[in-house]
Each structure stands twice: as structure tokens, then as C-alpha cells.
A and B are shown apart, each in its own frame.
Chain A
Amino acid sequence: MSVATRISAKSRSWFVDFVKDKELFVASILMIFVFSIAGTRFFTLDNIANILRSVSIGGILTLGLSFVMITGDFDLSFGSATGLLVVIEMIMLDQGVNMWLVFLVMIVLGLVWQFINAMLVVKVRMPAFIATIATWNMARGLIFWITKGKTFYGDYPDAFAFVGRENILVFLPTCAIIFAVLAFFAYMLGNHTKFGRHLYAVGGNPEAARYAGIDSDTVRILAFLMSGLAIGVSAIILGSELCCAPAGAGDAFQMQGIAAAYLGATVFKPGSVNIGGSILGSLLLVVIENGLVMMNVPFYYKYLIQGLIIVGAVSFITIKKRNSSIAIQSKI
């Protein structure tokens, strides 16, 4: 061990890492620039509050999805699961159950829902895609069974609207604050704790994780439970925002979440879904949507754009990965 290149103890600054894979930032700034020129109302306080309000539910669900995707799994059911929970929430409130108890039930049901998915995927070893397509449909079926396909209207306490409809400060919506707090915790959990490191390890190379002594099954189940928590919280906010339970509630968040997570996978840790990227991706997606509304573009373009974003982001990641991949060693 003679000649060693000494490594400087100074770590690369966050700014270098930040700017290194900056495609998404360039895109966001460009987008915001376009919108602020095109729509004069874009930079008003009202509109910013509006954006923050719209990002919260989708953003929280995207955070949950990100945990699942980091470990290499997938979830197609969280949108309709949220819808199902909203139905249960509104019925319980209508029955006069204490609001805080209802909130607790939402969290528990969210956890139960994802625990079921986790068992199917992790223990039964069903492909996550198939398992969650099935549970997604089961959620849809349950909703229609309970509501008979009609929007459920019921009584609810006045305080209920506080979560989804009102502001905590002059213009800051309560739900945006909830999102911000959860985003902070998710970010810390994902990037600065042992659990987070294990998530990325299991997603990056499950075999190597096993050899390093990481219990990957437990890690994957916990990732699903994180998403369960997100579903519970989102259902609380969504119910409060709508104050009723439409049969299609929650559906729109499914694609939005997937698009945001993939969009986020193009930054910070390019090629893999990551919490920081998901937060940014969720925000950007809502900004785009909002900008289009401001420009009087019909709402259905939103789906077209979400689809394009998934195609674009995933192609980008795939190509990037292919180019950087080292030649696979063949056995001699």
C-alpha cells in the first residue's frame, strides 16, 4: 500500500451537485417565464395561493409513491384508494362520528390499504403492476358499490372545511402547510436517515442489499406504509376540499403522481425516483397546469401533457442510463 492518492476531505458543494443535472430547472424556469408573459394573472398572490393549494394533495400522494418507487416497486392504486377513503370519511362524518376520530381512521385505513398491497407484492411476490391494478379496480368497485355511482353529500362539522379550504395565515392554505411539513420530513427521511439509505439500496441493487445485510422485505413493506400514510392524509384534505364524495374522486391524482415522480427522477439523482425530485416535479406539474388554465387552454389538455411528460421523462432517463452504463461483464 505505497502510493496513495490522498482524497481531499472537502466534500463537493451542494451547488455543484445542484447545477450538474439541471435540465428540469431550466425547463421550469422557462415555463414560468412563458406563463408570466402569456398570462398576466400568473404572478398574483391569489394565483400563487391557488397553485400551493392545488399542489398539496397530489404532492403528498407523489411523496408516498416515491417511497414505493425508490425501492423498485410500483403502485397504481393510490388514487382510487384515496377516493375510497373520501367516501368512507364523508359517510362517517354524516353519521356524526367525531372529526378527529375520522381523521385517525383515515390514516389507519390508508396504512391498511398499502399493507395489503405490500403483502401481495413483497410476500406473495406478485408483480407490483398487476397487484396494484387489481387493488385499484377493487377500490373503484367498492366506491361504486357504496355510492351507487352517485356523489355522496352529507353533513359535516363546520371546522372540517378548515383543512382543505381555508388559509392558516393570510394567504397560505392549510393544506399547503401540511404538504410543506410532510415534504420536509419525507426529504429528511429519504436522504438523511438509515432507512432512506436502505430504501435506495434496495431499489438500486436488491441482491447487493441482501449481501450487505439489509432486510429488503421489511424495507419494501415500510415504503408501502409510507404511501399508506400519504393516502390517509390526502383523503382527509380531499374530503375537506370537496365536502362531498364524488364517485371519481382521487382518480386524477394517479397519473399526476406518476408523471411527477418520473419528472422528478430526471434531477438530483438522475435516473432514479427521489424525494427531492418528486417535490419539484409535483410543483412543476401544477405550475404547468395552472399556467395553461391562465392561458385559457381547455382542461383536457392536462391529460395530454401528463402523458407527454411521462414519455419524455422516462425516455430521458432511459437514454441517460444507457449512455452511462458500463459494459456488462461477460463470463470468460
Chain B
Amino acid sequence: MDSNIILGCENLTKRFESTLALHKVTAGVRKGEILGLVGENGAGKSTLVKVLAGELRPDSGSIVFRGKTVRWESSNEALREGIGMVHQRPLLVPEMTGLQNLFLGKEYARRGLLDEVAATEASRRLIEKYPMYPDMDLTKTPKEMSAGEKEILAILRVLSYDPEVLILDEPTASLPRQETATLIEMIKKLNVERGVSIIFISHKLEEAFGLCDRIMVLRNGKYVGDLMREEFKRERVIRLMIEEDISLFYPPKTEEVGPVTLEVTNLRAPGVNNVSLEAHAGEIVGMYGLIGAGMSEVLESVFGLNRITGGSIKLKGEELCLPSVSVMKRKKVYLIPSDRHQLSLFRNFNVMENMTIAHLASLLPETIIDSAKEHKLATNQANKMTVKCSSVSQAISELSGGNQQKLVVARWLMEDVDILMVDDPTVGIDIGAKRDIYLLLRELTRMGKTVILISSEISEILGMSDRIYCMKHGRITGVLTGDQMTQENVLRHIL
């Protein structure tokens, strides 16, 4: 390994259940360097820095710090040794003042009583030492601070430990342009004046180009290359971020689409800004953007889960006044939400109960649920959808991730569907289950159904969609069809 490397790793592998988040990654930040870490959603950037900062333990491979192999027992140990990490969303206590947040966990006290004077003095010294926003008002609480001030406060808190390496996980993600510029300036000064080595994660390439000495690209948990300052070119980085082999893995696309089934016009809702889109029968409509760009929010609003503040939704030409989940279910419009553990599965229910829960009134209308009938319905559906379980009475915790996901899909396909909205259906599932879900979605369009698909994987969106809506900050930034559907085009619209 490069002897200049202050913090690095060798052959680092980390697995979450069936997902390989990091696969034999060897990387590192050199002394005094600003290293940019870029890659798609789910490329493993956050996982990598969390392992480096002791928040996650690697499955295999080693971490090297100051030339020695280390094993962090906790993130606190890493922090004490000189590795400071600021999370994507700053972890601050909203009700406490900036000063209290700054020294949270190591408060200044005298004879058991908190010493505000000493803390203020210490904060002054800290701000003097590190060129960070000298006129920051620490009497304000995070609630009263701007996004940028909160970010700086979080960085200052880490700096109070005098780290040698500072890790910043998307510090500019939620900042307006002006504050971003200020923050970038400060990070640069921190590096030049205090010699702090920095790992900087960002989705905004221009920002990384302006700040970093070197950029490293991760893709699907693997290291794919790094570029020095003189090699910084948008096209080059994007090409590295992209998967080369969009294999023949995806089923063939639709040749002819039917009439419009869903028409959304100027939709406004929490996280959704004037979104208009339409979907046709027999078509898979893809939606793609960075995490938090508003794709899920669009589908949730259409499904009646979020309150709509403006715009209209038409189903087969008929306008809906107030969409609600029960109305949508009656109209045969279903949403399969993204996080199956949080939003779909009932751990206290077995496979059968998890399957029938959304259709009790229509499929099992008897006052006393006909358990033989329920059992038969669920068993048939499990077989049809190849949900592998010993019996439908099995606990869902005993199912693999892929089978759990198939179960969720099976739940919504127990009854006839017209429009199926699917939010990132293949996260953390094995390749076989992925393939099954792809075939199933295609099968639906062949039967003249409409599918709207959100995915965090760009290759999946490209491989599955007949048309792609690109999103950024709650808005649609582009619609791509046919030959326009390339990774370069998509990334251009969402970044």
C-alpha cells in the first residue's frame, strides 16, 4: 500500500444479508489530501466510510491507519484515535443550543455543575483554531439554524476532537447553492491551513471537481478506478460510474402500448413539485433520480397516502377528486412500497396472513374468515408466484429476502390489477428472485396492465422501462424514450 496513505483499507468486504455492499475494496486517503468518493445510489460509498470510521465492522479485509492495521471496537474509538465522521443528516439535538450540541457527550463541568463559561471559551478557541464560520451564533438551536449552519456545527463538533482524517458524507446534499459555496470554501481552508485529510462524498460532480485532489469511483460495492485532478472530466467519471454490461438479463420490451391509463397533471404534494406524467396500458414507466428526489412521494400521493395540495389525477380519463388508498384499491391501482420491512411486512403474521391482509374484504367476505379457503388462496398464490416456504403457516422471518419480496408482490397480485406501482422492488434480493420479478412485471404489461417502476439501480431502470421520467428536487427534469434511454442521458438529467 502507498506509504502516504493515512487511512485506508485492503480487500474490504461487507455484506448485508443477501446484498454484497462492499466487495474487496482497496482504497485510502493520502496525508493532506481531499479525496472525493463518488458512485451511484447503493454503490457502497456510505458503507465504506462507515467501516473506516468504526461504525460498521467489515466481514473481511483490514483497515490501515497511520501505517498500522487497526480494528475499531466502536466509532468512539476511531474518533478518539483521530477519525472524525459527519453523517449525511447531521445528528444534532434540535432543542439544545449550538453550544450544548457542540460539546454533547463531553460537557464542561465544575464540581458536577455545567460550566457554560468554560464551554463558551472552548468553543471560541475551537472556532479560532479551525477556520470555520467565525461569526457563528452558538446560542441558536439547530431548529433556528439554516441547513448550512447545522452542517458546520456538526463538522465543528467532530473537529473538537482534533481529527487527522475528516469524513464528510454528502455534506452539501441539502444545502442551497450559496451555503454550498461557503461550506466548500471552508473545507478547502481546513485542508490547506490545518492539514486535515478529508474524504468527501458527493453526488454533485462539479462540486467534487472543484474541491478534490483525487476522485475515487465505486460501483456496486467495487472499486472501479480513481482519477487525479488533471483527469477530472464529467464524461470520464460518469463512464466509470456506469455498469458496462447491461446484459441480456432483462426481458424484451413492449412493442406497442395501449391507451393512457394514468394521467397526472401538475401534482403538488409533500416532496412533489408540479409533477405531470402519464402512463399507458401495456407499458413499464420508469422513474429515476437520486435518493430523495421525490419519486416515492409521487407514487405515494397518487396512491392516496399523502395529502395532495394541487393538480389532478385521472384514471382512464376519469378525474379523481380525493385519492385514498381504499378508492385506489377499488380502482385496481396498487402500490408496492420500497422498504419491505418498514412498509409491507407484518412480522407477527405468517406467510398466509401477510398475503391476504390487503384483500380480506373482497376475497374472504364471510363474517368468520373461512380459514380453509384462506389457506387455499394463499397456497395457490405462493405456488404461482414461486414464494418458497415450507407452508403458508411459516413465519416470514424464516424466509429469505428474495422470498419476502416475492411475498409482498404476491400480496398485491392476489386480485386483478390495472395499474401496479412498484417502488424499488429488487433491493437486497438475490439474482434469481430479481429475474422472477422482472419477468412478472413484463408479463403484466403483456396482459395490458400498466406498471410504474421506481428503482435505485440505473441498469434496472434502463433494462426494464419503456419510458423513463428523470427526477430532481421533486420535479420531472426529463422524459426519455427509445434510443434516448442511455445512462449518460439519465445521469445528465438527475445530477
Task: Fill in one digit per residue for B440-470: 1 if any A CB lies within 8 Å of its CB, else 0.
Answer: 1000000000000000000000000000000
Cβ-defined contact, A194 with B42, below 8 A? no
Judge if B19 is at the interface, Cβ distance under 8 Å: yes
| Nearest Cβ on chain A to B374's Cβ, whole angstroms | 10
Cα(A207)–Cα(B337), bound, Å:
11
Judge if B391 is at the interface, Cβ distance under 8 Å: yes
Cβ-defined contact, A212 with B383, below 8 A? no
Task: Fill in one digit per residue for A186-201: 1 if any B CB lies within 8 Å of its CB, else 0.
Answer: 0010001110011011
Cβ-defined contact, A211 with B305, below 8 A? yes
Chain A interfacial positions (CB closer than 8 Å to B): 1, 3-12, 17, 188, 192-194, 197-198, 200-201, 203-205, 207-215, 269, 271-272, 324-332
Judge if B273 is at the interface, Cβ distance under 8 Å: no
The 8 Å CB contact of B346, one of A11, A200, A327, is A200
A208 surroundings in chain B (CB, below 8 A): 342-346
Cβ-defined contact, B347 with A205, below 8 A? yes
Cβ-defined contact, A6 with B346, below 8 A? no
| Nearest Cβ on chain A to B230's Cβ, whole angstroms | 31
Contacts A207-B343, A212-B325, A212-B357 given; 12 further ones with Cβ under 8 A? Answer: A1-B384, A11-B391, A194-B369, A197-B369, A198-B360, A200-B346, A205-B346, A205-B347, A208-B345, A212-B344, A328-B341, A329-B16
Cβ-defined contact, B325 with A213, below 8 A? yes
Cα(A210)–Cα(B436), bound, Å:
27
Cβ-defined contact, B19 with A200, below 8 A? no
Judge if B90 is at the interface, Cβ distance under 8 Å: no
**Interface residues in B334-372 (C-beta closer than 8 Å to A):** 335, 337, 339, 341-349, 353, 357-358, 360-361, 364, 367-369, 371
Closest to A331 in B: B46
Cα(A65)–Cα(B325), bound, Å:
29
Cβ-defined contact, A332 with B349, below 8 A? no
Cα(A17)–Cα(B350), bound, Å:
12
B368 surroundings in chain A (CB, below 8 A): 188, 192-193
Cα(A161)–Cα(B379), bound, Å:
53
Size of interface on B: residues with Cβ below 8 Å to A: 57
| Residue among A204, A208, A272, A327 facing the most chain B CB atoms (10 A cut-off) | A208
The 8 Å CB contact of B369, one of A9, A192, A329, is A192
**Interface residues in B299-329 (C-beta closer than 8 Å to A):** 305, 325-326, 328-329
The 8 Å CB contact of B436, one of A1, A6, A12, A197, is A1
Cα(A51)–Cα(B343), bound, Å:
45
Cβ-defined contact, A210 with B325, below 8 A? yes
A330 surroundings in chain B (CB, below 8 A): 16, 47, 56
Cβ-defined contact, A4 with B47, below 8 A? no
The 8 Å CB contact of B329, one of A207, A209, A213, A325, is A213
For the complex of A and B, list the 6 residue pairs with the smallest distance between their C-beta atoms, beginning with the closest: A204-B348, A213-B325, A204-B346, A212-B358, A194-B360, A4-B386
| Nearest Cβ on chain B to A191's Cβ, whole angstroms | 9
The 8 Å CB contact of B348, one of A6, A188, A203, A329, is A203
Cα(A271)–Cα(B344), bound, Å:
20
Judge if B409 is at the interface, Cβ distance under 8 Å: no
Residues A193 and B369 in contact in the complex (CB < 8 Å), given A211-B337, A212-B358, A213-B325 = yes
Closest to B304 in A: A213
Closest to A321 in B: B347
| Nearest Cβ on chain A to B303's Cβ, whole angstroms | 8
B376 surroundings in chain A (CB, below 8 A): 9
| Nearest Cβ on chain B to A72's Cβ, whole angstroms | 11
